[in-house]
Structure 1
Amino acid sequence: MASISDLDQITKAAAGDRGAQAALVNRHMDMIFRVAYRMLGDQAEAEDVTQETFLRAWKILPDWQPKAKFSTWACTVALNLCRDRLRKKRPILMDTPPERVDMALRPDERLASAQAIMGIEAHIAALPERQKEALTLSALEGLGNKQAAEVMDITVHALESLLGRARRTLRAALMEQESKD
């Protein structure tokens, strides 16, 4: 069965088709949640941002003008909601690392791997907000530079500059941490 495009789903969802609405949520929810979680470092906050993003989507669907992909628009909304929340409070570090630990590892190797992930996540969380956004969208979510730049409302050149600074900062922090260990 061929995949139905976002534009077809948007048209049906705008007309009240619950199945089309569910399909849009299923297609884009994971990415929106991951972006929000990486920006906010809090699962409950990320869930709230994800829900708010889709609530806003349902309100605008009847007037949707496909100037950008739905995923780009949704990421932009989620990122703006994250920015609003971050302005209201200080950034916090993630409580737990993402669940990407290789279960084939011995327990001591899993612990070391989890600690390494926590260290990297802490360094990412400490980046300036715009660098963290660029890194999250491009490197962690796999958006192309053009789409990530659209989400952030900047040029591709500016995005690449933010990515370069973020990577240099992370590299320096990790090298410093390694020399201490």
Structure 2
Amino acid sequence: MAVPDAELDGLGDGALMVLFAKGDSAAARLLTERLLPRAWRHASRVLGDPAEAEDIAQEAMLRLWRAAPEWRQDGAAQPSTWLHRVVANLAIDRLRRAGRSTGLDPEIDPPDDAPTAEARMIEDGRRSALDAALATLPERQRQAVVLRHIEGLANPEIAEILGIGVEAVESLTARGKRALKAVLEGQKEALGYGE
């Protein structure tokens, strides 16, 4: 029996997984709406290619759906954490197979209609500079920085995703931030961060 859509909105991701495993297509749709954009953003920032990121996000969601029948709502892992870990692993595999660690595409996010053209140009320049700076980081640092400072995940969740300790996450993000600062320091004025 399907749960009414109004009730689904208040449920956590784990509960939605359990409902999906029982055949509730509305729960699957809502969980996809919640998680697929996050998976795509994560992959986009790491790979720098929106099309490859879409492939990885879809593959990660397929793996999540395959795991649904065994999903335990009372388990320690959240679907979002599990999904980010799969995305991280798939992205690393893709980068290694391609033998690259490239810069990122400044046109990853679609333009917003609200800002002026000048504001969009400034924001595009900032995003491009950040993406280029992120591309200079070793892949583990890049993953940690993206998950912490762009996706807004907590260190324990990142530790679980990357399969490392919380202290290692803190070290990776601190070193990554220092490296980004060093790369971006000379670009403040050009990026609109002048006095």
2:40 pairs with 1:19: no
2:12 pairs with 1:5: yes
2:71 pairs with 1:64: yes
Match of 2:92 among 83, 87, 93: 83
**Cα distance change, pair 9–82 in 1 and its aligned pair in 2 (3 A):** same
Q: Is the 8 A contact 2:81 2:157 kept in 1?
A: yes
Structure 2 CA distance for aligned equivalents of residues 13 and 125 of structure 1: 37
1:78 aligned partner, one-letter code:
V
Count the aligned residue pairs.
180
Question: Which residues of structure 2 form unaligned runs of 5+?
Answer: 1-5
> How many angstroms does 1:39 deviate by?
0.7
Instruction: For residue 96 of structure 1, give the secondary structure of its aligned residue in structure 2.
Output: coil
Root-mean-square deviation (CA), in Å? 2.3
Match in the other structure for 2:45: 38
2:127 pairs with 1:120: no
Q: Which moved more, 1:34-43 or 1:93-102?
A: 93-102
Residues 137-175 of structure 1: CA deviation (Å, up to 9, x unaligned): 000000011111111111111101001111111111112
Structure 2 CA distance for aligned equivalents of residues 54 and 117 of structure 1: 27
Q: Is the 8 A contact 1:103 1:110 kept in 2?
A: no
Q: Is the 8 A contact 1:101 1:114 kept in 2?
A: no
Structure 2 CA distance for aligned equivalents of residues 180 and 14 of structure 1: 51
Instruction: For residue 53 of structure 2, give the secondary structure of its aligned residue in structure 1.
Output: helix
**Cα distance change, pair 16–169 in 1 and its aligned pair in 2 (3 A):** same
Structure 2 CA distance for aligned equivalents of residues 32 and 120 of structure 1: 19
Match of 1:174 among 173, 181, 184: 184
Question: Which residues of structure 1 form unaligned runs of 5+?
Answer: none
Alignment identity in percent? 37
Match in the other structure for 2:54: 47
Please report the TM-score for the alignment, with normalisation by the length of structure 1.
Answer: 0.88
Instruction: For residue 103 of structure 2, give the secondary structure of its aligned residue in structure 1.
Output: coil
1:77 aligned partner, one-letter code:
V
Q: Which structure: greater helix fraction?
A: 1
Match in the other structure for 1:160: 170
**Cα distance change, pair 14–168 in 1 and its aligned pair in 2 (3 A):** same
Q: Is the 8 A contact 2:56 2:91 kept in 1?
A: yes
Structure 1 CA distance for aligned equivalents of residues 164 and 136 of structure 2: 22
1:14 aligned partner, one-letter code:
A
